[in-house]
């Protein structure tokens, strides 16, 4: 009977295993789902001002964009369902598991606390369509080009409410407030946000509203929240959790139209600090801020002045943590507004503070009442990034160019790099390339066959840092092969290469230069330029006169770093002729072994050798003439058969060579 009564009060039919008093089946527009029997059922058509609260187990039916009667506190998460008409195929986000039920025209959303996604999926798994009212066409979420910076310059009154108000409320409250805090993401966000859409953001930005973006995620290990909602007490794990939360928050911000340079605040509710708990919170916020910086956003933290404020202020100058850019502290009643005894005046001094000075108050403006927290903000946005950031590669060098942002007092441009395709995420990571105020810089001594990712930041005169602008210099790699390791003087060799991009694929249609230097020389000179084919292959036929080192080079282009191949050595052997006349003599007669070395090496020595068993023995030494001629008179002292050859030893320019063997018969 309890189940039936609750269902009728909600204006819906309720059925199912009521006798078990454990579950019930709730129907909405022909879609049925089984839920625990103690979940309340709230019909938003009957009560449009009811707050869709995620901190209570319930089933909410319908969708209302009226001014909801929500609490001011925006943190807390339980589990339940929202069943509403299917208009847009809204995707799931952390803490909200969605199912598009097209046959019933229903969008089912299960909200759950961190770590309980499986339970939410189980509830949605009980759903079934009993009456079809299929939606012919379901809209997909429209792509939004993020263009709004939150927050720009805001020095004045702001409020935050659990749910973004409808437009009528925003218009009624505008004369008295300049900014509004909106809860865009987080697995512990308490209230649904039916009004918070890209159109709502664009409309209110056009009316002069500034926005404070809030993520309500994992809480301090020593907080009063349940264990499933807490960050890890292990600092290294908490840091990773902070990074994950930031990535999700950026996705939510961009889906609403908020661009880089926006600040997003991690809502960490009050906790009683201990050394271990403080370390975890600071690590979580470090990961949060690092990831936001890597994505071009600013990191902020919201919390009680006595916990978050005190802990972060005590670590303000610590290098062990990444300090959040902005601090939003809650200290109700603290005066003067903008100050707290827990947050020294020497911290967050560069327009980086928001003070929540009154909370959980109901106020009426323009005839519309709402429960809010009151804030005073003193904020400015970071400078815009450089534009037209480009890189042109050379041989082991790169020239970077950029356009400095207008309308700011420039402090300096900071550029850092990392080897590979991922730029340094932070101004403290990677390798420093440039710090100055110019618009061009050439970096030298880059490694061969490597890619470099660059990120540039703008620091204004106040010390605030822009989002990073990135450019990638893709490395290239060249091989070098020769058709032979040596040739005879006067012959030719084909020297070839294959040039590839390090991001995959051949470098085609590019000018590839063949460089050469004599074996004993110190400098290369260009001997050919060949355009690579579709496979990145280039080849050149060479006719070296001396032993030569060959190396292929690509000298780079826009976005491409040049490269130099390994060296291919082609040895050149002189041509050598040989004659033995006569080849047969009588004992006591002589024979002449002579020939010519080409090219001539006048004054160098040629060696006559005679074979003795399996080895060769010295038989004479001669000096080459001006035309490279050598000549030896052979006069054996005994009858027999003798085998001779002439050897010329290598010098700096040419490989050594020798004649074929010649046989002399003595009778």
Give per-residue pLDDT as tens, 132-178: 887 778 888 888 999 999 999 999 999 999 999 999 999 999 999 99
Q: What is the pLDDT of residue 483?
A: 97
Angle, nearest 10°, between helix axes 235-256 and 275-294? 40
Pull the structure tokens for residue 35.
């839920």
| DSSP letters for 587-613 | TT--EEEEEEEES--TT-EEEEEEEET
Give the C-alpha separation, 69 to 310, whole Å: 33
Mean pLDDT of 212-232: 90
Cβ atoms of residues 75 and 267 within 8 Å: yes
Question: Does residue 137 or residue 60 have the better pLDDT?
Answer: 60
Q: 542-576 burial, b if ≥16 CB within 10 A, otherwise e?
A: bebebbbbbbbbbbbbeebbbbbbeebebbbbbbb
Mean pLDDT of 559-574: 98
Q: Does residue 4 carry a pLDDT above 90?
A: no
Angle, nearest 10°, between helix axes 235-256 and 198-206? 70
Q: What is the pLDDT of residue 336?
A: 96
Q: CA 337, 343, 345, 349 torsion: positive or negative?
A: negative
Give the C-alpha separation, 665 to 146, whole Å: 97
Give the C-alpha separation, 432 to 435, whole Å: 8
Query: CA torsion angle for 167, 172, 176, 179 (degrees, to 10)?
Result: 0
Give the C-alpha separation, 540 to 527, whole Å: 9
Give the C-alpha separation, 49 to 69, whole Å: 6
Cβ atoms of residues 269 and 303 within 8 Å: yes
Residue linked to tokens 């540039």: 456
Q: Is 446 exposed, middle or buried (0-12, 13-18, 19+ CB in 10 A)?
A: buried
Phi, psi of 284, deg, nearest 5: -60, -45
Give per-residue pLDDT as tens, 568-618: 999 999 999 999 999 999 999 999 999 999 999 999 999 999 999 999 999
Query: Which of 399, 480, 479 has the alpha carbon at shortest distance from 439?
Result: 399
Q: Does residue 39 carry a pLDDT above 90?
A: yes
Q: Is 483 exposed, middle or buried (0-12, 13-18, 19+ CB in 10 A)?
A: middle
Give per-residue pLDDT as tens, 306-343: 999 999 999 999 999 999 999 999 999 999 999 999 99
H/E stretch holding 569: strand 568-573
Pull the structure tokens for residue 545.
């006169």
With H, G, I as helix, E, B as strand and everything else as coil, classify residue 198.
helix
The DSSP code for 557 is: B
Q: CA 73, 74, 80, 81 torsion: positive or negative?
A: positive
Give the C-alpha separation, 635 to 591, whole Å: 7
Query: CA torsion angle for 275, 277, 279, 283 (degrees, to 10)?
Result: -170
Give per-residue pLDDT as tens, 362-380: 999 999 999 999 999 999 9
Give the C-alpha separation, 131 to 87, whole Å: 18
Mean pLDDT of 99-125: 95
593: Cβ contacts below 8 Å, ≥ 6 apart: 578, 579, 580, 608, 631, 632, 634, 644, 646, 662
Pull the structure tokens for residue 36.
């625990």
Q: What is the pLDDT of residue 130?
A: 94
Average pLDDT across the chain, whole number: 94
State the pLDDT confidence band at 21, using cuts at 50, 70 and 90: low
Give per-residue pLDDT as tens, 261-277: 999 999 999 999 999 99
Mean pLDDT of 185-191: 95
Pull the structure tokens for residue 537.
């292959």
Residue 645's beta-bridge partner residues?
609
Query: Which of 579, 605, 604 has the alpha carbon at shortest distance from 592?
Result: 579
Query: Which of 148, 149, 181, 189 has the alpha carbon at shortest distance from 164?
Result: 181
C-beta atoms surrounding 438 within 10 Å: 12
Phi, psi of 176, deg, nearest 5: -100, -10
H/E stretch holding 164: none
| DSSP letters for 207-275 | TT-EEEEEE--PBPTTBSS-GGGBPPSSHHHHHHHHHHHHHHHHHHHHHHTBPTT-EEEEEE--B---H
Quote the percentage of the chain above a pLDDT of 70. 96
Q: What is the pLDDT of residue 17?
A: 36
Q: What is the pLDDT of residue 138?
A: 86
Give the angle subtended at the CA of 306 by the CAs of 302 and 311, to the nearest 5°: 75
Q: Does residue 417 carry a pLDDT above 50?
A: yes
Phi, psi of 326, deg, nearest 5: -125, 150
Residue linked to tokens 């110019």: 438
Phi, psi of 175, deg, nearest 5: -60, -25
Pull the structure tokens for residue 427.
């101004």
Residue linked to tokens 């012959």: 491
Mean pLDDT of 58-64: 97
Q: What is the pLDDT of residue 139?
A: 84
Quote the percentage of the chain above a pLDDT of 90. 93
Least confident interval from 49-53, 87-91, 400-404, 450-454: 87-91
Phi, psi of 470, deg, nearest 5: -115, 150
Q: Does residue 414 carry a pLDDT above 60?
A: yes
Give the C-alpha separation, 615 to 633, whole Å: 21
Query: Which of 555, 565, 564 has the alpha carbon at shortest distance from 398?
Result: 555
State the pLDDT confidence band at 279, using cuts at 50, 70 and 90: very high
Q: Does residue 20 carry a pLDDT above 70?
A: no
């Amino acid at each position: 009977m309890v189940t039936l009564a609750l269902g009728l009060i909600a204006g819906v039919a309720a059925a199912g295993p009521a006798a078990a008093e454990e579950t019930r089946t709730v129907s909405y527009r022909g879609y049925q789902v089984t839920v625990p029997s103690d979940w309340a059922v709230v019909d938003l058509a009957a009560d449009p001002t009811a707050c869709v609260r995620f901190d209570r187990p319930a089933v909410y039916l319908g969708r209302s964009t009226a001014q909801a009667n929500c609490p001011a506190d925006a943190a807390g998460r339980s589990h339940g369902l929202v069943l509403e008409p299917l208009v847009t195929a809204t995707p799931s986000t952390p803490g909200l598991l969605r199912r598009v039920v097209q046959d019933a025209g229903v969008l089912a959303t299960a909200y759950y606390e961190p770590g309980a996604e499986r339970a939410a999926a189980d509830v949605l798994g009980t759903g079934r369509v009993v009456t079809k009212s299929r939606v012919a066409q379901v809209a997909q979420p429209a792509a939004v080009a993020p263009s709004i910076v939150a927050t720009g310059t805001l020095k004045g009154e702001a409020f935050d409410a659990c749910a973004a108000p409808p437009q009528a409320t925003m218009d009624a409250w505008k004369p008295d407030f300049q900014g509004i805090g909106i809860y865009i993401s987080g697995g512990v966000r308490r209230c649904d946000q039916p009004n918070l859409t890209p159109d709502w953001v664009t409309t209110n930005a056009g009316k002069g509203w500034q926005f404070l973006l809030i993520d309500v995620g994992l809480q301090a290990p020593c907080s009063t929240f349940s264990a499933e909602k807490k960050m890890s007490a292990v600092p290294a794990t908490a840091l990773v959790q902070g990074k994950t939360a930031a990535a999700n928050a950026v996705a939510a911000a961009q889906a609403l139209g908020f661009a880089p340079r926006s600040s997003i605040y991690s809502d960490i509710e009050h906790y009683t600090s201990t050394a271990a708990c403080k370390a975890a919170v600071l690590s979580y916020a470090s990961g949060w801020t690092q990831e936001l910086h890597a994505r071009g956003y600013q990191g902020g933290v919201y919390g009680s002045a006595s916990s978050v404020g005190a802990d972060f202020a005590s670590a303000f100058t610590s290098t062990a943590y990444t300090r959040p850019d902005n601090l939003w502290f809650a200290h109700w009643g603290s005066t003067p507004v903008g100050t707290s005894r827990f947050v020294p005046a020497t911290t967050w001094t560069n327009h980086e503070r928001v003070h929540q000075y009154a909370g959980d108050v109901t106020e009426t403006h323009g005839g519309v009442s709402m429960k809010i927290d009151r804030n005073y903000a003193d904020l400015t946005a970071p400078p815009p990034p450089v534009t037209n950031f480009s890189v042109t590669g050379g041989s082991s060098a790169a020239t970077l160019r950029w356009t400095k942002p207008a309308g700011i007092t420039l402090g300096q441009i900071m550029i850092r790099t990392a080897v590979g395709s991922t730029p340094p995420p932070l101004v403290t990571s990677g390798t420093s390339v440039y710090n100055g105020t110019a618009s061009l810089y050439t970096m030298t001594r880059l490694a061969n066959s490597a890619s470099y990712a660059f990120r540039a930041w703008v620091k204004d005169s106040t010390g605030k840092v822009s989002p990073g602008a990135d450019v990638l210099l893709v490395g290239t790699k060249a091989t070098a092969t020769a058709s032979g390791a040596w040739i005879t003087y006067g012959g030719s060799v084909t020297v070839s290469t294959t040039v590839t991009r390090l991001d995959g694929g051949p470098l085609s249609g590019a000018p590839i230069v063949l460089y050469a230097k004599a074996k004993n020389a110190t400098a290369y000179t260009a001997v050919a330029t060949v355009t690579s084919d579709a496979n990145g292959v280039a080849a050149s036929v060479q006719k070296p006169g001396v032993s030569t080192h060959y190396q292929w080079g690509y000298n780079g282009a826009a976005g491409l770093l040049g490269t130099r191949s390994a060296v291919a050595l082609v040895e050149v052997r002189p041509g050598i002729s040989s004659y033995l006349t006569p080849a047969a003599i009588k004992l006591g007669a002589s024979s002449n072994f002579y020939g010519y070395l080409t090219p001539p090496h006048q004054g160098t020595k040629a060696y006559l050798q005679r074979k003795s068993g399996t080895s060769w023995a010295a038989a004479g030494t001669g000096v080459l003439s001006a035309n490279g001629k050598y000549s030896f008179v052979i006069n054996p002292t005994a009858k027999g058969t003798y085998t001779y050859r002439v050897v010329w030893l290598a010098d700096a320019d040419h490989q050594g060579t020798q004649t074929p063997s010649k046989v002399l018969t003595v009778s």
